[in-house]
Amino acid sequence: MTNPFRTLKAGNRMQQVSEVVNSWNEWDPLEEIVVGSADGANFEPTEPGNRPQIRNAPPGTPFPSGPKSAEAVDRANEELAGLVSLLESEGVRVRRPAPHDFSQSVRTPDFEAANQYCAVCPRDVMITIGNEIIEAPMSRRSRYFEFQPYRELVYEYWNADPRVVWTTAPKPSMADKMYRDGFWDWPLAERHERMHSFEFCVTQDEVVFDAADMSRFGRDIVVQESMTTNRAGISWLKRHLEPKGFRVRPVHFPLDFFPSHIDCTFVPLRPGLVLTNPDRPLREGEEKLFLANDWELVDAPEPTTGNDEMPEFCQSSKWLSMNVLSIGPNKVICEQQEKPLQELLYKLDFEVFPVPFRNVFEYGGSLHCATWDVRRVGAGEDYFPNSDYQPLA
Ligand code: ABU
Protein backbone atom coordinates (compact mmCIF):
# COMPACT_ATOMS: atom_id res chain seq x y z
CA MET A 1 0.00 0.00 0.00
CA THR A 2 1.28 3.48 -0.78
CA ASN A 3 1.08 6.16 1.85
CA PRO A 4 -0.11 9.12 -0.19
CA PHE A 5 -0.28 12.54 1.39
CA ARG A 6 0.49 16.13 0.58
CA THR A 7 1.57 18.93 2.86
CA LEU A 8 -0.50 22.11 2.75
CA LYS A 9 -0.56 25.35 4.66
CA ALA A 10 -3.46 25.77 7.11
CA GLY A 11 -3.29 29.27 8.60
CA ASN A 12 0.21 29.61 9.99
CA ARG A 13 0.90 25.88 10.35
CA MET A 14 1.65 23.08 7.87
CA GLN A 15 -0.76 20.15 7.67
CA GLN A 16 -0.35 16.73 6.04
CA VAL A 17 -3.53 15.77 4.21
CA SER A 18 -4.57 12.53 2.49
CA GLU A 19 -4.30 12.31 -1.29
CA VAL A 20 -7.39 10.08 -1.26
CA VAL A 21 -10.00 11.56 1.10
CA ASN A 22 -9.64 15.22 1.99
CA SER A 23 -12.44 17.76 2.13
CA TRP A 24 -12.81 20.44 4.80
CA ASN A 25 -15.34 22.84 3.39
CA GLU A 26 -17.90 23.38 0.65
CA TRP A 27 -15.76 25.47 -1.72
CA ASP A 28 -12.12 24.37 -2.07
CA PRO A 29 -11.03 23.27 -5.59
CA LEU A 30 -12.77 19.97 -6.27
CA GLU A 31 -10.82 16.87 -7.31
CA GLU A 32 -13.08 13.86 -6.75
CA ILE A 33 -16.81 13.57 -6.22
CA VAL A 34 -19.60 11.00 -6.18
CA VAL A 35 -22.63 11.87 -8.33
CA GLY A 36 -25.91 10.07 -7.53
CA SER A 37 -27.89 7.83 -9.86
CA ALA A 38 -31.64 7.39 -10.35
CA ASP A 39 -31.27 3.73 -11.35
CA GLY A 40 -33.80 1.59 -9.53
CA ALA A 41 -35.38 4.54 -7.71
CA ASN A 42 -38.64 3.96 -5.85
CA PHE A 43 -41.26 6.31 -4.48
CA GLU A 44 -40.61 7.15 -0.86
CA PRO A 45 -43.08 5.30 1.37
CA THR A 46 -45.27 6.95 3.97
CA GLU A 47 -43.70 6.34 7.38
CA PRO A 48 -43.53 8.11 10.77
CA GLY A 49 -40.59 10.24 9.59
CA ASN A 50 -42.13 11.22 6.27
CA ARG A 51 -45.56 11.87 4.84
CA PRO A 52 -45.06 12.40 1.11
CA GLN A 53 -47.80 14.22 -0.77
CA ILE A 54 -48.55 14.87 -4.42
CA ARG A 55 -48.24 18.60 -4.98
CA ASN A 56 -51.51 20.40 -5.56
CA ALA A 57 -53.54 17.18 -5.30
CA PRO A 58 -56.75 17.13 -3.23
CA PRO A 59 -56.14 16.10 0.41
CA GLY A 60 -56.20 12.34 0.84
CA THR A 61 -54.94 11.58 -2.68
CA PRO A 62 -52.69 8.57 -2.17
CA PHE A 63 -49.01 9.00 -2.93
CA PRO A 64 -47.74 6.41 -5.45
CA SER A 65 -45.70 3.47 -4.23
CA GLY A 66 -43.15 1.11 -5.73
CA PRO A 67 -40.65 1.81 -8.54
CA LYS A 68 -40.55 5.16 -10.36
CA SER A 69 -41.38 4.99 -14.06
CA ALA A 70 -38.58 4.20 -16.52
CA GLU A 71 -39.24 7.60 -18.17
CA ALA A 72 -38.82 9.51 -14.89
CA VAL A 73 -35.62 7.60 -14.12
CA ASP A 74 -34.24 8.24 -17.62
CA ARG A 75 -35.03 11.97 -17.44
CA ALA A 76 -33.19 12.31 -14.13
CA ASN A 77 -30.29 10.13 -15.25
CA GLU A 78 -29.84 12.26 -18.36
CA GLU A 79 -29.42 15.38 -16.23
CA LEU A 80 -27.12 13.58 -13.80
CA ALA A 81 -25.02 12.49 -16.80
CA GLY A 82 -24.87 16.15 -17.90
CA LEU A 83 -23.49 17.07 -14.50
CA VAL A 84 -20.94 14.25 -14.75
CA SER A 85 -19.76 15.54 -18.17
CA LEU A 86 -19.43 19.09 -16.88
CA LEU A 87 -17.44 17.98 -13.83
CA GLU A 88 -15.15 15.82 -15.95
CA SER A 89 -14.58 18.66 -18.38
CA GLU A 90 -13.37 20.67 -15.37
CA GLY A 91 -10.87 17.95 -14.50
CA VAL A 92 -12.85 16.41 -11.63
CA ARG A 93 -12.83 12.62 -11.16
CA VAL A 94 -16.43 11.43 -10.90
CA ARG A 95 -17.51 8.21 -9.18
CA ARG A 96 -21.00 6.67 -9.08
CA PRO A 97 -22.95 4.55 -6.56
CA ALA A 98 -23.16 0.77 -7.08
CA PRO A 99 -26.47 -0.67 -8.35
CA HIS A 100 -28.93 -1.38 -5.55
CA ASP A 101 -32.41 -2.92 -5.49
CA PHE A 102 -34.48 -0.19 -3.84
CA SER A 103 -37.69 -2.16 -4.32
CA GLN A 104 -36.56 -4.50 -1.52
CA SER A 105 -38.46 -4.12 1.72
CA VAL A 106 -36.61 -3.44 4.97
CA ARG A 107 -37.26 -5.39 8.13
CA THR A 108 -35.43 -5.05 11.43
CA PRO A 109 -36.57 -6.14 14.91
CA ASP A 110 -38.10 -2.66 15.33
CA PHE A 111 -39.78 -1.75 12.04
CA GLU A 112 -40.68 -2.67 8.51
CA ALA A 113 -40.69 -0.49 5.39
CA ALA A 114 -42.32 -1.60 2.15
CA ASN A 115 -39.44 -0.41 -0.02
CA GLN A 116 -36.32 1.76 -0.02
CA TYR A 117 -35.82 5.03 -1.89
CA CYS A 118 -32.91 5.80 -4.24
CA ALA A 119 -29.24 6.74 -4.59
CA VAL A 120 -29.82 10.15 -6.16
CA CYS A 121 -28.72 12.10 -3.08
CA PRO A 122 -25.47 10.78 -1.59
CA ARG A 123 -25.15 14.08 0.31
CA ASP A 124 -27.94 13.01 2.65
CA VAL A 125 -26.06 9.91 3.78
CA MET A 126 -22.33 10.49 3.37
CA ILE A 127 -20.05 13.30 4.49
CA THR A 128 -16.30 13.88 4.27
CA ILE A 129 -14.82 15.83 7.17
CA GLY A 130 -11.09 16.23 6.59
CA ASN A 131 -9.72 12.69 6.10
CA GLU A 132 -12.80 11.05 7.60
CA ILE A 133 -15.86 9.61 5.90
CA ILE A 134 -18.93 9.49 8.13
CA GLU A 135 -22.02 7.47 7.26
CA ALA A 136 -25.02 9.17 8.84
CA PRO A 137 -27.50 7.18 10.98
CA MET A 138 -30.39 8.63 8.92
CA SER A 139 -33.86 9.54 10.12
CA ARG A 140 -36.23 7.54 7.90
CA ARG A 141 -36.85 3.83 7.75
CA SER A 142 -36.78 3.59 3.96
CA ARG A 143 -33.28 5.13 4.01
CA TYR A 144 -31.84 2.89 6.74
CA PHE A 145 -29.67 0.96 4.29
CA GLU A 146 -28.93 3.83 1.90
CA PHE A 147 -25.22 3.63 2.75
CA GLN A 148 -24.99 0.35 0.85
CA PRO A 149 -24.54 1.73 -2.70
CA TYR A 150 -21.47 3.66 -1.43
CA ARG A 151 -19.74 0.84 0.48
CA GLU A 152 -17.56 -0.37 -2.41
CA LEU A 153 -16.24 3.15 -2.84
CA VAL A 154 -15.69 3.58 0.88
CA TYR A 155 -13.67 0.36 1.00
CA GLU A 156 -11.65 1.51 -1.98
CA TYR A 157 -10.79 4.83 -0.29
CA TRP A 158 -10.15 3.16 3.06
CA ASN A 159 -7.83 0.58 1.50
CA ALA A 160 -5.97 3.19 -0.54
CA ASP A 161 -4.65 5.27 2.35
CA PRO A 162 -4.16 4.32 6.02
CA ARG A 163 -4.86 7.94 6.91
CA VAL A 164 -8.47 7.58 5.81
CA VAL A 165 -10.83 7.21 8.76
CA TRP A 166 -14.24 5.62 8.25
CA THR A 167 -16.99 6.00 10.81
CA THR A 168 -20.53 4.69 10.79
CA ALA A 169 -22.61 6.64 13.26
CA PRO A 170 -24.86 4.58 15.58
CA LYS A 171 -28.07 3.45 13.93
CA PRO A 172 -31.21 4.51 15.81
CA SER A 173 -33.99 1.97 16.29
CA MET A 174 -36.47 3.87 14.09
CA ALA A 175 -39.11 2.12 16.20
CA ASP A 176 -42.49 3.85 16.57
CA LYS A 177 -41.37 5.39 19.87
CA MET A 178 -38.56 7.29 18.11
CA TYR A 179 -41.14 9.48 16.36
CA ARG A 180 -43.47 12.12 17.70
CA ASP A 181 -47.10 11.15 17.27
CA GLY A 182 -49.28 13.71 15.57
CA PHE A 183 -46.48 15.86 14.14
CA TRP A 184 -47.76 15.65 10.57
CA ASP A 185 -51.27 16.64 11.64
CA TRP A 186 -50.46 19.73 13.71
CA PRO A 187 -52.47 22.67 12.36
CA LEU A 188 -50.46 25.62 11.08
CA ALA A 189 -51.34 27.72 14.13
CA GLU A 190 -49.85 25.05 16.40
CA ARG A 191 -46.68 24.88 14.27
CA HIS A 192 -46.40 28.63 14.59
CA GLU A 193 -46.76 28.45 18.36
CA ARG A 194 -44.14 25.71 18.57
CA MET A 195 -41.68 27.21 16.10
CA HIS A 196 -39.19 28.27 18.77
CA SER A 197 -39.20 24.87 20.48
CA PHE A 198 -37.69 23.04 17.48
CA GLU A 199 -39.64 19.86 18.15
CA PHE A 200 -40.16 17.88 14.95
CA CYS A 201 -41.16 14.36 13.91
CA VAL A 202 -38.18 12.68 15.61
CA THR A 203 -37.96 12.70 19.41
CA GLN A 204 -34.76 13.49 21.31
CA ASP A 205 -34.06 10.06 22.80
CA GLU A 206 -31.88 8.45 20.11
CA VAL A 207 -29.03 9.69 17.93
CA VAL A 208 -30.54 10.87 14.64
CA PHE A 209 -28.96 12.88 11.87
CA ASP A 210 -28.80 13.05 8.10
CA ALA A 211 -25.42 14.16 6.75
CA ALA A 212 -27.02 16.94 4.70
CA ASP A 213 -27.92 18.88 7.85
CA MET A 214 -24.21 19.74 8.18
CA SER A 215 -22.28 22.42 6.37
CA ARG A 216 -18.49 22.40 6.55
CA PHE A 217 -16.53 25.58 7.26
CA GLY A 218 -13.01 24.18 7.90
CA ARG A 219 -12.63 23.59 11.64
CA ASP A 220 -16.27 24.57 12.15
CA ILE A 221 -19.16 22.28 11.34
CA VAL A 222 -22.48 24.10 11.25
CA VAL A 223 -25.42 21.76 11.88
CA GLN A 224 -29.12 22.45 11.63
CA GLU A 225 -31.59 21.08 14.15
CA SER A 226 -34.39 19.70 11.99
CA MET A 227 -36.87 16.96 11.17
CA THR A 228 -33.87 14.86 10.16
CA THR A 229 -31.34 15.84 12.88
CA ASN A 230 -32.13 15.95 16.59
CA ARG A 231 -30.23 17.20 19.65
CA ALA A 232 -28.87 13.71 20.45
CA GLY A 233 -27.49 13.61 16.91
CA ILE A 234 -25.80 16.98 17.42
CA SER A 235 -24.37 15.80 20.78
CA TRP A 236 -22.96 12.71 19.08
CA LEU A 237 -21.31 14.91 16.45
CA LYS A 238 -19.85 17.16 19.13
CA ARG A 239 -18.43 14.26 21.14
CA HIS A 240 -17.05 12.66 18.00
CA LEU A 241 -15.58 15.73 16.33
CA GLU A 242 -14.47 18.02 19.18
CA PRO A 243 -11.53 15.78 20.23
CA LYS A 244 -10.33 16.04 16.62
CA GLY A 245 -10.22 19.83 16.88
CA PHE A 246 -13.58 20.66 15.28
CA ARG A 247 -16.20 23.00 16.69
CA VAL A 248 -19.76 21.84 16.08
CA ARG A 249 -22.18 24.77 15.92
CA PRO A 250 -25.92 24.11 16.03
CA VAL A 251 -28.07 26.56 14.06
CA HIS A 252 -31.83 27.06 13.83
CA PHE A 253 -34.20 28.53 11.29
CA PRO A 254 -37.46 29.11 13.21
CA LEU A 255 -39.55 30.08 10.18
CA ASP A 256 -38.89 26.76 8.45
CA PHE A 257 -41.67 24.56 9.83
CA PHE A 258 -40.45 21.42 8.02
CA PRO A 259 -36.66 21.78 8.08
CA SER A 260 -34.71 18.97 6.46
CA HIS A 261 -31.13 19.48 5.23
CA ILE A 262 -29.30 22.78 5.49
CA ASP A 263 -28.27 23.10 1.86
CA CYS A 264 -31.36 24.97 0.68
CA THR A 265 -31.14 27.38 3.59
CA PHE A 266 -27.57 28.34 4.48
CA VAL A 267 -24.99 27.73 1.74
CA PRO A 268 -21.37 28.87 2.11
CA LEU A 269 -19.86 29.77 -1.26
CA ARG A 270 -16.32 30.82 -0.33
CA PRO A 271 -14.49 32.13 2.75
CA GLY A 272 -16.49 35.09 4.03
CA LEU A 273 -19.67 34.55 2.01
CA VAL A 274 -22.84 32.56 2.77
CA LEU A 275 -25.89 32.44 0.51
CA THR A 276 -28.92 32.71 2.79
CA ASN A 277 -32.61 31.97 2.36
CA PRO A 278 -34.77 35.11 2.81
CA ASP A 279 -37.75 32.98 3.93
CA ARG A 280 -35.65 31.22 6.60
CA PRO A 281 -33.61 33.66 8.68
CA LEU A 282 -31.26 32.37 11.36
CA ARG A 283 -32.53 32.35 14.95
CA GLU A 284 -31.85 35.78 16.41
CA GLY A 285 -28.31 35.88 17.79
CA GLU A 286 -26.92 33.03 15.69
CA GLU A 287 -25.81 35.47 12.98
CA LYS A 288 -23.38 37.08 15.44
CA LEU A 289 -20.67 34.42 14.97
CA PHE A 290 -20.62 35.05 11.23
CA LEU A 291 -20.69 38.82 11.45
CA ALA A 292 -17.99 38.88 14.15
CA ASN A 293 -15.72 36.97 11.77
CA ASP A 294 -16.40 39.21 8.76
CA TRP A 295 -18.69 36.80 6.95
CA GLU A 296 -21.26 38.37 4.68
CA LEU A 297 -24.73 36.81 4.56
CA VAL A 298 -26.30 37.42 1.14
CA ASP A 299 -29.94 36.52 0.46
CA ALA A 300 -30.65 34.34 -2.55
CA PRO A 301 -33.17 35.80 -5.02
CA GLU A 302 -36.68 34.40 -5.38
CA PRO A 303 -36.51 31.01 -7.18
CA THR A 304 -37.87 30.88 -10.72
CA THR A 305 -40.16 27.97 -9.81
CA GLY A 306 -43.03 28.96 -7.60
CA ASN A 307 -44.02 26.18 -5.20
CA ASP A 308 -46.78 25.29 -7.71
CA GLU A 309 -44.39 24.66 -10.58
CA MET A 310 -42.24 22.09 -8.83
CA PRO A 311 -42.51 18.47 -10.10
CA GLU A 312 -45.65 16.87 -8.69
CA PHE A 313 -43.81 14.15 -6.73
CA CYS A 314 -41.09 16.47 -5.41
CA GLN A 315 -41.19 16.79 -1.60
CA SER A 316 -38.59 19.57 -1.46
CA SER A 317 -39.14 23.31 -1.52
CA LYS A 318 -38.68 25.80 -4.35
CA TRP A 319 -35.41 26.69 -2.59
CA LEU A 320 -33.70 23.83 -4.39
CA SER A 321 -32.75 26.86 -6.50
CA MET A 322 -29.93 27.63 -4.03
CA ASN A 323 -28.72 24.03 -3.77
CA VAL A 324 -25.63 24.87 -5.82
CA LEU A 325 -22.37 22.94 -6.04
CA SER A 326 -19.07 24.81 -5.68
CA ILE A 327 -16.16 23.34 -7.59
CA GLY A 328 -13.75 26.04 -6.48
CA PRO A 329 -13.82 29.22 -4.39
CA ASN A 330 -14.95 31.19 -7.46
CA LYS A 331 -16.70 28.49 -9.51
CA VAL A 332 -20.30 27.47 -8.92
CA ILE A 333 -22.59 25.03 -10.74
CA CYS A 334 -26.15 26.34 -10.76
CA GLU A 335 -29.46 25.06 -12.15
CA GLN A 336 -29.86 26.30 -15.72
CA GLN A 337 -33.19 28.10 -15.32
CA GLU A 338 -32.22 29.97 -12.15
CA LYS A 339 -31.18 33.14 -14.00
CA PRO A 340 -31.72 35.54 -11.06
CA LEU A 341 -29.36 33.49 -8.88
CA GLN A 342 -26.85 33.25 -11.73
CA GLU A 343 -26.96 37.08 -12.07
CA LEU A 344 -26.28 37.46 -8.37
CA LEU A 345 -23.36 35.02 -8.56
CA TYR A 346 -21.86 36.89 -11.52
CA LYS A 347 -22.11 40.13 -9.55
CA LEU A 348 -20.29 38.43 -6.68
CA ASP A 349 -17.46 37.55 -9.13
CA PHE A 350 -18.19 33.86 -9.55
CA GLU A 351 -17.71 31.88 -12.71
CA VAL A 352 -21.12 30.23 -13.14
CA PHE A 353 -21.74 26.86 -14.85
CA PRO A 354 -25.46 26.41 -15.60
CA VAL A 355 -26.77 22.84 -16.06
CA PRO A 356 -30.37 21.59 -16.47
CA PHE A 357 -31.37 19.70 -13.32
CA ARG A 358 -35.14 20.10 -12.77
CA ASN A 359 -35.86 16.45 -13.53
CA VAL A 360 -33.74 15.46 -10.56
CA PHE A 361 -35.85 17.53 -8.16
CA GLU A 362 -38.45 14.83 -7.55
CA TYR A 363 -35.69 12.69 -6.00
CA GLY A 364 -35.29 15.17 -3.17
CA GLY A 365 -32.48 17.46 -4.22
CA SER A 366 -30.54 19.49 -6.69
CA LEU A 367 -26.81 19.84 -7.42
CA HIS A 368 -25.43 19.81 -3.87
CA CYS A 369 -27.75 17.05 -2.65
CA ALA A 370 -26.96 14.84 -5.66
CA THR A 371 -23.24 14.79 -4.89
CA TRP A 372 -20.76 13.84 -2.17
CA ASP A 373 -17.35 15.45 -2.45
CA VAL A 374 -14.53 13.15 -1.46
CA ARG A 375 -11.48 15.26 -2.21
CA ARG A 376 -10.83 18.97 -2.52
CA VAL A 377 -7.47 20.74 -2.49
CA GLY A 378 -7.18 22.37 0.90
CA ALA A 379 -6.53 21.97 4.59
CA GLY A 380 -8.46 22.51 7.81
CA GLU A 381 -8.52 26.29 8.20
CA ASP A 382 -10.01 28.30 11.05
CA TYR A 383 -12.50 30.73 9.52
CA PHE A 384 -13.90 31.80 12.92
CA PRO A 385 -10.92 32.91 15.02
CA ASN A 386 -13.19 35.34 16.81
CA SER A 387 -15.56 33.19 18.85
CA ASP A 388 -16.40 31.93 22.31
CA TYR A 389 -17.10 28.29 21.49
CA GLN A 390 -18.64 26.21 24.27
CA PRO A 391 -17.28 22.65 24.04
CA LEU A 392 -19.17 19.83 25.71
CA ALA A 393 -18.29 19.70 29.39
N1 ABU B 1 -33.04 17.91 0.46
C2 ABU B 1 -33.05 19.30 0.57
C3 ABU B 1 -34.46 19.87 0.64
C4 ABU B 1 -34.51 21.13 1.40
C5 ABU B 1 -35.75 21.94 1.14
O6 ABU B 1 -36.77 21.41 0.72
O7 ABU B 1 -35.73 23.17 1.32
DSSP 343-380: HHHHHTT-EEEEE--GGGGGGT--TTTTEEEEEES---
- Average the pLDDT over 280-301 and give the result: 98
What is the model's pLDDT at position 388? 86
pLDDT of 307 above 70:
no
Instruction: Please give the mean pLDDT across all residues of the chain.
Output: 96
- Which amino acid, one-letter code, is at 226? S
| Residue of 39, 210, 213, 373 marked active site | 210
pLDDT of 46 above 60:
yes
Whether 261 is catalytic is yes
**Ligand 1 geometric centre to CA of 121 (Å):** 11
In tens, the pLDDT along 194-205 reads: 888 999 999 999
In tens, the pLDDT along 125-149 reads: 999 999 999 999 999 999 999 999 9
Residue 257, classed as helix, strand or coil, is coil
pLDDT of 1 above 90:
no
16-376 under CATH 3.75.10.10, yes or no = yes
- Average the pLDDT over 139-162 and give the result: 98
Ligand 1 proximity of 264 Cβ (cutoff 6 Å): yes
Task: Report the C-alpha gap between 277 and 318 in whole angstroms.
Answer: 11
**Ligand 1 geometric centre to CA of 365 (Å):** 6
Whether 369 is catalytic is yes
Element spanning 128, H or E: strand 126-129
Ligand 1 proximity of 260 Cβ (cutoff 6 Å): yes
Whether 210 is catalytic is yes
The conformation of residue 258, written as its DSSP 8-state character, comes to S
pLDDT of 356 above 90:
yes
Ligand 1 proximity of 230 Cβ (cutoff 6 Å): no
| Residue of 28, 261, 314, 368 marked active site | 261
Ligand 1 proximity of 227 Cβ (cutoff 6 Å): no
What is the model's pLDDT at position 3? 67
Domain boundaries, the chain: 16-376
Element spanning 264, H or E: none
Task: Report the C-alpha gap between 46 and 35 in whole angstroms.
Answer: 26
Tell me the pLDDT band of 341, cut-offs 50, 70 and 90: very high
The conformation of residue 218, written as its DSSP 8-state character, comes to B
What is the model's pLDDT at position 308? 66
What is the model's pLDDT at position 306? 74
**Ligand 1 geometric centre to CA of 317 (Å):** 6
- Average the pLDDT over 339-350 and give the result: 98
